[in-house]
A and B are shown apart, each in its own frame.
Chain A
């Protein structure tokens, strides 16, 4: 797919085509992508960007309001909030990415299997799905994390066990339609193996809604991960993580509002970045309105 008038084999032309395709995306994608990219860069270069050590205590500098030395102020241990937010981005961004990855892989496989095979397999998997969605999502996540013990790994396992349902539904619905398409019939009559038909013929055409959903799912996972840490079931102190920082700041809201306030802004900005990506791509692929 190159822009008109440019030959496909031309390397320079291909670059121009790619650039045009990126520029041709909705503006929401550009803004959202920029926000996520900024956080990604901050997370990658945290040791060089952060002005202070995120966990080193300096009790003589405790609870300072935002100033030139500490742009976002300090917490009750005198730790620089800006540095903690920058370091915290590593965890919160990671929760968005890994939180999506495992449910995506499991859900897509289940949806593909269910939709392609049909019959008893489909029925059993869909009953399993019914059971999973009849639990309140976050309550089941909390219950699983409570069983496995607090921490990031438990959070990912819980998400993998519960979060696959949305992807399975989306992919299955696509498979049910696409498996009757002429080109699939053609592939089947050529004697291609089911694996080849599923992976190289149906899946590429069935995956777009799941990919777009994964971006709004990232928003959900970031909020869930931060909420778990806030409840004390996720990242443990003294590590810098946004939800945990808000929990730590809640004690001081009457005297030092900035401790709980700024980490929340960080969550909101990252979540909105992903939301905009999701909305923009949904618009681009004609999945909504």
Chain B
């Protein structure tokens, strides 16, 4: 089990990155022109009220001291108060995490369901018509703007055919599956080409490996060779690629949530920008970055679990 010891010390190595993330998000909000106290109080703020706010939030302190307070507050889960929602920022954002997480997981599952057969088909007959089609789809898929795809899907499947709701998240689990199908499919269309390409080339590379020839020489059925040998070994680079792409996928959810009016963190981020509710923007940026760091950590663990050769 010593191979998994890194699970304990890797988080310590992440501390510089986490500090960096906190500095970037801190600086972002401090670069906004204008006095936060004035934004908070609006036009009716008197000089005394502004001074009071400055003192209350430590805005009269030097920047490094303010950053220190920021860190202390973060450690206590204190992200400040939202001006628009008149509630703690953390509560506002926390209530929005579930739809975003659901959408992300849904999109990843759909892309796996799409890319595994596509890549297997393309790799089985290299250069054949299926392979050409998959290649065309890969090139095409990379150039599709998610927000437009979403709108076209709404036109076809919600308005014309009436199969799916135009927007929203729904109440029950089945409802969520129904409401989020089109947004998840929109995101999957962006992710599938990348995964398919990658899985296809690892499948091709693995099928020419010596152990495949050996398995064939032993007279193993093709299906057994494919699933037990080739496929398993091809999964690793694809899992890694999923980790690399999770940042992209999260960016995509911001857009998809806006197109389909899903009450997730991305939508609250965009609407908070227009409301000048910057603490919400800051919290969402920070939480999503932590999500990426955590996902990559999980991908590392899965990689070690899938492949005994990998030295963490």
Contact = CB atoms under 8 A, between A and B. Distances in A.
A130 B148 contact: no
Is chain B's interface secondary structure helix, strand, loop, or mixed overall? helix
Interface in A268-289: 268, 271-272, 274-276, 279, 289
B234 to A, nearest CB: 15
B17 A136 contact: no
B292 A134 contact: yes
A139 interface: yes
Contacts of B32: 147
A231 interface: yes
Contacts of B68: none
Interface stretch (B87-95, B212-220, B225-233, B251-259): B251-259
A136 B148 contact: no
Contact of A139 (B147, B155, B284): B284
Interface string B1-23: 00000000000000011001100
A268 B142 CA distance: 9
A144 B144 CA distance: 24
B288 A139 contact: yes
Interface string B289-312: 101110010000000000000000
A260 B29 CA distance: 34
A128 B20 CA distance: 8
B247 A267 contact: no
A156 interface: no
Contacts of A261: 152, 155
Residue picked from A219, A233, A246, most chain B C-beta under 10 Å = A246
Given A136-B288, A138-B248, A257-B155, A271 B29 contact: no
Contacts of B151: 246, 249-250, 253, 260, 264
Given A142-B270, A257-B155, A137 B247 contact: yes
Interface stretch (A48-56, A192-200, A222-230): A222-230
B254 A138 contact: yes
B289 A227 contact: no
Nearest to B14: A134
Q: Which 7 A-B pairs have the closest CB atoms?
A: A138-B251, A271-B143, A131-B20, A264-B148, A136-B250, A136-B247, A146-B273
Given A233-B270, A246-B151, A250-B151, 5 more contacts: A130-B20, A139-B247, A254-B159, A263-B148, A271-B145
